[in-house]
Each structure stands twice: as C-alpha cells, then as structure tokens.
Amino acid sequence: MSVQERKARERADRERLIVATARELAEQQGWDAVTTRRLAERIEYSQPVLYSHFRGKREIIGAVALQGATELAAAVRAAAAAEDGPRERVAALARAYLDFAERNPAVYDALFQLDGGLAYAREDTPAPLKDAFAALMETLGEVAGDALHPGVFTETFWAALHGLATLTRAGRLPAEFAAERVRLLVERLAVV
C-alpha cells in the first residue's frame, strides 16, 4: 500500500469516527450537545483536525443525514420485500419508516428538520437522498393509481408519514393508535 493510499484510508477512518461520534452524541443528548470542541475531546483529535474534514456542525449534520438516508432506504426496502401484496408492502414500508424515525430521532432530525447544507428535490440532490426517495417510490408507485404521478403520490404519502412521525415524537399523538393510523393511511391512499 502506498503512503497516499494509507493516508486516504486514515482520513476516511477519521471522518467515519467523527460522524459516528456526532451521531452518538446527538442521539444521547440532542444536536445542541454536538460541538466541535466536544467532538474533538471525545475522539481525541484537535479541533483543527475536525475542521480539516468538516467546515462545521452543518456539514457534520449533512454527513449524518446522508448516512441516515442510506439506512432508511435499506429499512423500507427490506420491510417491503418481506411482504407479498401491494397494500401489505405499503403498510410494511410505513411501519419501517415510522420505526426508523422513533429509533433514530437525531438522525431523523438531521435528515428532515435541521440544516445540513444538503439540496433536496433538485438536480444536485446527493445520491443517498435520491435513493431514499426512490426506495419509497418503488413500493408506493405500485399503489398510486393510474391518475396520479408516482412521484407526486410518493411525496404526498411521505408527507403524511413525516407528519405522523413528527407529531408522535412530539407527544401530540397517542402511541396506542399508531397501527390504526398506518392502516388508515394505507386504506385511504393506496389504490389497488
């Protein structure tokens, strides 16, 4: 291995460590607790080393969001693939999405609530974000119906899921009706 390859590998390892540490700290204590000083202390690197990877917290949030998008895409694909019929796949997708939001609140915030400097719904949207949307559309496109554009249907269904996730996390919706909400969403929106 050449010196350049070793340095590139070490740099990638440091970047993964920074992102993993930021994510862990955010999940434990919230994004306000994530500062470059605190991260530097936790990973035992100086702040200038952090700044050599990320210009600041915004870029770190963006890196966590991209990682989260990849995980969300995998989760909804796996859930949908485990079911047979279109409505069952949609229900599984919805449960997986809501479960992801519940289990990973800081990552969910990085994806959809905080400014990570990422472009959404544009040509320059990063590939992991496009893939997460594609993962939703693969299943939701099956039940959009002929009169609706699959992308528009996916956006609308996703907006409903996001609303449910956000309101549930904020304690605005009682948890005991979560399954009923998913059933209602699938029955009322999914055309099969």
Coil, strand or helix at 155:
helix
Question: With b meaning 16 or more CB within 10 Å and e meaning fewer, what string describes 20-44?
Answer: ebbbebbbeeebeebbbeebbeebe
pTM: 0.93
* pLDDT single digits (tens) 50-93: 999 999 999 999 999 999 999 999 999 999 999 999 999 999 99
Question: In angstroms, rounded to a whole number, what is the distance separating the alpha carbons of residues 165 and 163?
Answer: 5
Asked if residue 133 has pLDDT above 80, the reply is: yes
Chain mean pLDDT for the chain: 95
Average pLDDT of span 115-142? 96
